[in-house]
Every structure is written in structure tokens, then in C-alpha cells.
């Protein structure tokens, strides 16, 4: 049973380009969470999604960032018109369902570098 998969593992973009980060949850998991780790900062929650629904986006920047988790395929975190401050490691986690006892399992992360 493969763990949470993220791709690409490393992504380089120039300022103004778009970045698309993909997350495939563990088999049987229908809940996905995105976290961001800025340099020298702790990981911070961005968004929580179920299939076709955004449940909690309280940690998402108001502009340029969006997330989706379609019925088929991976979850996508999309960053439009990237700026240098978007350079960070983006981690995805998944769980079976929403329960306070259900552990979130983390992927290896995507490291975004904006030139």
C-alpha cells in the first residue's frame, strides 16, 4: 500500500508563472490536507478538502492560491503568478475520514523555488 504521493518533488518557476502541485492520497483515503513550510518557519495549515468539496480553507492566502480534489485524480494545489515569497515546501496529508482519532499521513513534499 503506497503512501501519500506528491509530484513533482522539486519545482522551479520564474516569477509570474503558474505552479501546479499534485497529491495522491493513500488508497482508501478521501480526505486531503495541504500544509506549507516557509524557510525557517513551522508548517502551517492551508486547506482541507474532501472529494469535490473544500471543507476548510482558512489557511489559504486570499489571492493567487486555489485547491481542488476532483472526483477522479489527484488533489491539485495551484499557485498563479508566483512570487519569490511562495518559495517553500508544500506538504500534503491524507486521512480515511474526518475523525479526531484518524491520523493524517504526510507525503514527501514538493519543494517550490521561485526565481
Could you tell me the CA-to-CA distances from 11 to 20, 37, 74 in Å, in that order? 9, 15, 17
Backbone region of residue 112 per phi and psi (left: phi > 0; alpha: psi in -120 to 50; beta: other values): beta
Could you tell me the CA-to-CA distances from 66 to 16, 32, 59, 77, 99 in Å, in that order? 16, 14, 11, 6, 25
If one asks whether residue 104 binds other proteins (CB under 8 A), the answer comes out as yes
Site string for other proteins, 40-79 (x = CB under 8 A): xxxxxx--x------xx-xx--------------------
Instruction: Give the footprint of other proteins on residues 2-41 (CB under 8 A).
Output: 33, 35, 40-41
Q: Quick one: CA dihedral 80, 16, 74, 112, positive or negative?
A: negative
* Of the candidate residues 111, 113, 114, 115, the single one contacting other proteins (CB under 8 A): 111
Rounded least distance, CB 48 to other proteins, Å: 5
Cell of 99: 475523525
Instruction: Give the footprint of other proteins on residues 72-91 (CB under 8 A).
Output: 91
Where does this chain touch other proteins (CB under 8 A) — which range of 12-20, 62-70, 78-86, 103-111?
A: 103-111
As a residue count, the chain comes to 115
Binding site for other proteins (CB under 8 A): 33, 35, 40-45, 48, 55-56, 58-59, 91, 93, 98, 100-101, 103-109, 111
Amino acid at each position: 500500500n503506497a503512501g501519500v504521493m506528491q509530484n513533482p518533488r522539486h519545482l522551479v518557476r520564474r516569477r509570474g508563472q503558474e505552479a501546479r502541485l499534485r497529491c495522491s492520497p493513500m488508497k482508501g483515503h478521501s480526505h486531503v490536507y495541504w500544509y506549507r513550510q516557509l524557510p525557517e518557519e513551522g508548517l502551517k495549515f492551508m486547506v482541507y478538502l474532501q472529494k469535490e468539496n473544500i471543507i476548510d480553507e482558512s489557511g489559504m492566502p486570499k489571492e493567487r492560491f486555489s485547491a481542488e480534489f476532483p472526483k477522479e485524480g489527484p488533489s491539485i494545489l495551484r499557485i498563479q503568478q508566483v512570487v519569490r515569497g511562495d518559495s517553500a515546501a508544500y506538504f500534503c496529508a491524507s486521512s480515511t475520514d474526518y475523525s479526531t482519532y484518524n491520523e493524517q499521513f504526510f507525503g514527501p513534499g514538493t519543494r517550490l523555488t521561485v526565481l
